[in-house]
Amino acid sequence: MKSLIIAATLLFVPAHSLSAQQQRTTQTETIETLLARIERLERRVAELEGSKVQAQPATQRTEQTQVPAEALHPEVAQSVSEGPSLKIAGFSDFNFSGSDQKGTKSGFTEGQFVLHLNSNLTQKVSFMGELSLTARTDAGGGMPPVTGFNAEVERSIIRFEHNDYLKVSFGRYHTPINYWNTAFHHGQWLQTTVSRPEMVQFGGRFIPVHFVGGLVEGAVGAAGLNFNYNFGVGNGRGSVISRGGDAGDINNSRAWLVNMFIKPDKLYGLQVGGSAYRDKISTGGRDFGEWISSAHVVWNRETPEVIAEFANVRHENLTTASPVSNSQAYYVQTGYRLPVFDKRFKPYYRFEYIHIPRSDFLFQSPVVPNLAGSVAGLRYDLTSFAALKFEYRNQRRDPGQPRINSGFVQTSFTF
Amino acid sequence: MKAFGITLIIVLISGSIAGWTAPAGSDIAVVVSRDVPIDDLSFSELRKILLGDRQYWSSNLRVTLLIRAPAAREREVILRNVLEMTEAQYRQYWIGKVFRAESSSAPKSIATNEMAFSLLNSIPGSIAFVNASQVPKDLKVVRLGGLLPGDKGYPLN
């Protein structure tokens, strides 16, 4: 019966309305979908035969729709059932890089291996987790020998949804005070470029990349402006300021944040917003007050793509009298999905800048180095789920220092 | 049991002939399950639903998005006219959406219009997009900006 179904189905695969190349691709996908579906149906038929359920007459059209939806589409059945339904997806990348910086070596590097777990506990309660495995440069050293990869729980969030206006969650987040930090996470394939802007680099210190605590979020129509908000309370930075307070807060002063943005109906693709973040940092026997204010403008339609962000980090030494410092960082990235070659090519450019004043004792170089640099590259989408990126970087750390030129090739994908 | 197998073949073939892709030029109807408390959607509301930015009809009724599988004209019209995305952009958008934890699941991919009708009858809060000429009379067709399929200026065709 399988061959009959396949033959009958293939005969009726539509052969119009697409270009020749698209047609081949979509027909292949359609055939694969159908084969998978046929297998599911055959299994269901076998189950029904096994349980001696009477088949219904084939002559009445209405009876076709009486085949249980759950049998026809198991994943839909899963989504409406009351119980955990774990789904796993993954991201990874492989890179080759070379640089004219003294002391560096060219070669291949393995990017993060990221697993993303998602489970609906009920219709209104869901969990999501993100695990990463990162190659270690000190693998095999020490006693006992260090393992080759460092495992990290990047995100772990349980969310309770009342409706679109109100969602409450608890867990470990990527701090929602920066667009890039919440839009792309650890999936390199999702972002246009090879690397993240340095102001939101993983393991970086300019802004707190992770946040442990609770968030209240939601969205309202606001007369077509589509106003979105996040309010959060959490532990803030740890004594190592690149880390969130996973094992507890280092002081009795919670961090809090506010993030708001709009996505106007009339300018589909535009997002404009800003954030504020307040924390008390205790490190090296001193306390610092931290105020972060940030803003972003994004046009995400790809023709063109524009992402621009700015952040000011204000530090005040609460232990000894010293001047208040303001460190700033921004980047502007543009890209354009070319209309030729099946829209697979996307050239891009990014300028980024970080300035740390001498008065900022917490960020003073080399903790957060200054930066003025450009990134230019080309993204080629091999398939809908894998990309190849070529990138050139030209960066200077401080005025008077030589510029560093680097080249990168990356293949990134989701699986 | 053979009769049941034959029924399935007929479902698939009829899907190929009638439900596989809507004929060029025909309007695409926005069809919802009976419990959805809405008769009219604005174009921007429809876009928000398709983007997963609106996930609830009301506090007690979640939106379940049913989208025809790739290659179907219904899907092509939705992606082109409403989302202004290519197939690849749409896939990447939803992978990113789920990865950002903004939605706990992506839209359900539906192979045929018959399947869409079946699921609309069985899943509360579901919404699907199907060839207007094939919509059974017992299903609820939503107006789009006050217009029904066949009306002048209807945007999904």
Alpha-carbon gap, residue B125 to B58, rounded angstroms: 9
- Average of per-residue pLDDT values in chain A: 85
* Total number of domains in chain B: 1
Residue with the bigger pLDDT between A238 and A227: it is A227
User: Strand B40-41 and strand B56-58: pairing?
Assistant: unpaired
Structure confidence by residue, pLDDT tens digits, A137-161: 898 888 889 999 999 999 999 999 9
Asked whether residue B151 is assigned to any structural domain, the reply reads: no
Contact state of A48 with B13 under an 8 Å Cβ cutoff: no
Contact state of A58 with B7 under an 8 Å Cβ cutoff: yes
Asked whether residue B31 is assigned to any structural domain, the reply reads: yes
Confidence of residue A50 (pLDDT cuts 50, 70, 90): very low
**What percentage of chain A's residues is helix, strand, coil (to nearest 5)?**
15, 45, 35
- Average of per-residue pLDDT values in chain B: 88
CB B120, CB B126: distance < 8 Å: yes
Residue with the bigger pLDDT between A47 and A306: it is A306
Q: How many CB pairs under 8 A join A and B?
A: 174
C-alpha closest to that of A128 among A139, A137, A138, A116 = A116
CB A42, CB B85: distance < 8 Å: no
pLDDT at A65 > cutoff 60: no
Among the residues of A90-203, which ranges form H helices? 179-183
**Which of B44, B91, B108 lies nearest to residue A265, judging by beta carbons?**
B44
**Which of B54, B117, B123 lies nearest to residue A76, judging by beta carbons?**
B123
Residue with the bigger pLDDT between B112 and A5: it is B112
Asked whether residue B32 is assigned to any structural domain, the reply reads: yes
ipTM: 0.82
Q: Coil, helix or strand for B6?
A: helix
Contact state of A126 with B69 under an 8 Å Cβ cutoff: no
Residue type at A25 in one-letter notation: T
CB A111, CB A92: distance < 8 Å: yes
Asked whether residue B75 is assigned to any structural domain, the reply reads: yes
Where in the sequence is the domain holding B52, given as residue range(s)?
2-144
CB A301, CB A335: distance < 8 Å: no
Asked whether residue B156 is assigned to any structural domain, the reply reads: no
- What CATH number does residue B49 fall under? 3.40.190.10
CATH number for the region A84-414 comes to 2.40.160.10
User: Does residue B133 sit at the A interface (CB-CB below 8 Å)?
Assistant: no
Structure confidence by residue, pLDDT tens digits, B22-78: 555 689 999 999 999 999 999 999 999 999 999 999 999 999 999 999 999 999 999
Confidence of residue B146 (pLDDT cuts 50, 70, 90): very high
How far B151 CA sits from the closest chain A CA (Å)? 24
Asked whether residue B152 is assigned to any structural domain, the reply reads: no
CB A302, CB A204: distance < 8 Å: no
DSSP string computed for A5-74: HHHHHHHTS---SS-HHHHHHHHHHHHHHHHHHHHHHHHHHHHHHHTTPPPPPTT-GGGGGGS-HHHH-H
Pinpoint the residues of chain A covered by CATH 2.40.160.10: 84-414
